[in-house]
């Protein structure tokens, strides 16, 4: 049971971070379908930090630098979405899809080049980070507490406070609901949308490094993030773009995803003779079912996906 709880919290942390990122972007009026690619690039940034940081660096300092690396890479990559969708008014769905494909391909090529330069016989797409990974874990009597669990809770609180308790958050949401009305009272809609996209990049980068350090034992960049970016979008929609509801939805989907890792430890689940692949598919099947029944009641920001035009009223 402790193992199930551990994996549930780990996967929920990943989903929560990335879904909150999508929430900021969509509240500003930009649909961010490129969360998968942002996660991969954020994971790349954090993994590179771990590769090149001194092994004897204090654990807390390493954790902070790795998190910062993931955030910086995630923000930089999300800027591509902002430029294309906000400044050039490109189709946000197409741009997001392109970012997903480019992220995986670009990270794979870069890592293979780095490994080949260090060792001509090594053409793998793995960055070794086994030793630094231990800095993120604390053993609490059989339960492995991962610092990303705390990071996810902190970022949830930050998202709630920023969106509902600050002038910035209220202006951001205004730009996603009625951008022309927001502009009429002096709000710079383009800047607010840029801010929303870049914040989503920061959250997505954190979700990416959380996934490779806590969610899987070994990760190759060409594998991507197993659909967690799209699953996070489902969590965001199921949570109605509200941070607290998103947290509850992340726990539900995290539990379903965790079952695929630990079902063999429960006799009553093993006795059902259900193939492991079914448990792996379960979160995505439930995702489709949930969205099918809740899509009519979903209330997305009214102006999401619509390029801002000053001349429109």
Q: Is the pLDDT of residue 55 over 80?
A: no
Q: How confident is the model at residue 217 (pLDDT cuts 50, 70, 90)?
A: low
Indicate yes or no: pTM above 0.85.
Answer: yes
Q: Is the pLDDT of residue 216 over 70?
A: no
Mean pLDDT, residues 178-182 taken together: 93
Q: Is the pLDDT of residue 190 over 90?
A: yes
Question: Mean pLDDT score of the chain, rounded to an integer?
Answer: 89
Q: What is the pLDDT of residues 60-114, one digit of tens each?
A: 898 899 999 999 999 999 999 999 999 999 999 999 999 999 999 999 999 999 9
- Of the two residues 60 and 273, the one the predictor is more confident about is 60
What is each CA distance from 177 to 35, 67, 115, 183, in whole angstroms?
A: 22, 32, 47, 12
Q: What is the pLDDT of residues 227-242, one digit of tens each?
A: 899 999 999 998 999 9
Q: Is the pLDDT of residue 138 over 80?
A: yes
The residues spanned by each domain of the chain are 13-224
Q: Is the pLDDT of residue 205 over 80?
A: yes
């Amino acid at each position: 049971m402790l193992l199930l709880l551990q994996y549930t919290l780990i996967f929920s942390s990943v989903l929560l971070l990335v879904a909150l990122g999508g929430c900021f972007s969509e509240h500003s009026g930009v649909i961010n379908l490129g969360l998968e690619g942002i996660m991969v690039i954020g994971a790349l940034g954090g993994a590179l930090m771990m590769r090149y940081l001194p092994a004897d660096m204090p654990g807390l300092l390493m954790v902070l630098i790795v998190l910062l690396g993931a955030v910086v890479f995630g923000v930089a990559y999300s800027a591509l979405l902002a430029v294309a969708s906000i400044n050039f008014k490109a189709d946000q769905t197409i741009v997001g899809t392109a970012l997903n494909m480019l992220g995986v391909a670009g990270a794979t090529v870069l890592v293979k080049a780095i490994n080949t330069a260090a060792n001509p016989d090594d053409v793998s797409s793995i960055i070794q980070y086994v030793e630094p990974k231990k800095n993120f874990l604390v053993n609490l009597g059989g339960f492995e507490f991962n610092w990303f669990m705390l990071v996810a809770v902190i970022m949830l609180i930050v998202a709630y406070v920023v969106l509902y308790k600050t002038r910035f958050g209220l202006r951001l949401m205004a730009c996603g609901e009625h951008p022309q009305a927001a502009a009429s009272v002096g709000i710079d809609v383009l800047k607010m949308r840029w801010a929303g996209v870049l914040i989503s990049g920061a959250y997505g980068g954190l979700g990416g490094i959380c996934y490779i350090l806590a969610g899987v034992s070994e990760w190759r960049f060409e594998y991507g993030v197993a659909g967690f970016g799209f699953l996070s979008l489902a969590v965001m929609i199921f949570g109605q773009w509200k941070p607290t509801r998103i947290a509850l939805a992340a726990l539900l989907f995290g539990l379903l995803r965790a079952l695929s890792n630990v079902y063999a430890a429960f006799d009553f689940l093993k006795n059902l003779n259900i193939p492991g692949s079914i448990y792996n598919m379960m979160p995505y099947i439930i995702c489709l079912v949930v969205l099918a029944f809740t899509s009519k009641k979903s209330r997305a920001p009214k102006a999401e996906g619509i390029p801002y035009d000053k001349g429109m009223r």
